[in-house]
């Protein structure tokens, strides 16, 4: 079975400062990992994905995540927060690809940006 | 950019009534999914669908739920007799053959009274 733990339910940062959203995973196999973002009253948008290629993954809107197997982590970072980054962020894991995997979501981290 | 669309955006129904939630996946995608998110809780997998049949379903997806791809573009979730605890945001997602990423629609917020 696979699971993800998002270590912070709520993170607040000032505009222009770095963002760090933490995620640890548990998986019996080498996982694929994703970050999704949900803006208020919007759907889930794929930010970035890790699928066993490069361990440092770049996504949209300046976000990055680094897969660290030794730490079973997949933390999401951004060098400089923007007001439009305020949203809920979900770390997601799936089984190795057999064609029809279900996504397993973390509980989410709400990011607040202070002007 | 292609998107997954869902209708309606909101639905209010009485307990015991049937509801059908509709989704139009991205056109060249072959794998389809339904998830739900009860207010304040995690997003949960309901069902996956490929080649006109269910590939996997969760324990939530009991006999009250069904899915269908009635034509080449729509993908529907039917709840036969809604219960209060079915109130949630329902998300449709789709995936192409070549990659693991699932792309989500904006959701349908279902309220059962």
pLDDT along chain A (115 residues), means of 10: 91 97 88 91 88 87 94 96 96 73 91 96
Question: Under an 8 A CB cutoff, do A32 and B107 touch?
Answer: no
Asked if residues A77 and A19 have their Cβ atoms less than 8 Å apart, the reply is yes
Alpha helices in B1-113, H assignment, sequence order: none
pLDDT at A98: 58
Q: Which residue of B has its CA nearest to A51?
A: B100
Chain A CB contacts of B31 under 8 Å are 99-100
pLDDT digits (tens, 9 = 90+) for B14-58: 999 999 999 999 998 999 999 999 998 889 999 999 989 999 999
CA distance B66 to A95: 24
pLDDT digits (tens, 9 = 90+) for B1-11: 778 999 999 99
pLDDT digits (tens, 9 = 90+) for B73-102: 899 999 999 999 999 999 999 998 877 889
Chain A CB contacts of B91 under 8 Å are 43-44
* Closest CB to B48 among A46, A51, A102: A102
Closest CA to A47 of A57, A59, A58, A64: A59
CA distance A43 to B41: 16
Which B residues in the span 63-92 are in contact with A, Cβ-Cβ below 8 Å? 91
Dihedral angle sign, alpha carbons of residues B3, B6, B7, B8: negative
Which B residues in the span 36-55 are in contact with A, Cβ-Cβ below 8 Å? 42-45, 48, 50, 55
């Amino acid at each position: 079975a696979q699971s993800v733990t998002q270590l912070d339910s709520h993170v607040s940062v000032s505009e222009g400062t770095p963002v760090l959203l933490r995620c640890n995973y548990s998986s019996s196999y080498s996982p694929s990992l994703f970050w999704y973002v949900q803006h208020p009253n919007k759907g889930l948008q794929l930010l970035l994905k890790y699928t066993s290629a490069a361990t440092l993954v770049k996504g949209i809107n300046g976000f990055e995540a680094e897969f660290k197997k030794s730490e079973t982590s997949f933390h999401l970072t951004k060098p400089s927060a923007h007001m439009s980054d305020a949203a809920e962020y979900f770390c997601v894991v799936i089984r190795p690809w057999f064609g029809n995997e279900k996504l397993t979501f973390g509980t989410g981290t709400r990011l607040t940006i202070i002007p | 950019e292609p998107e997954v669309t869902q209708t309606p955006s909101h639905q209010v129904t009485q307990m015991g009534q049937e509801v059908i939630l509709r989704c139009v996946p991205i056109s060249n995608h072959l794998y389809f999914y339904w998830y739900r998110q009860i207010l304040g809780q995690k997003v949960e997998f309901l069902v996956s669908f490929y080649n006109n049949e269910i590939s996997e379903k969760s324990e939530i997806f009991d006999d009250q739920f069904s899915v269908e791809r009635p034509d080449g573009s729509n993908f529907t979730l039917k709840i036969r007799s809604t219960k209060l605890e079915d109130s949630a945001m329902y998300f449709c997602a789709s995936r192409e053959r070549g990659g693991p990423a699932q792309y989500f629609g904006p959701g349908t917020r279902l309220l059962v009274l």
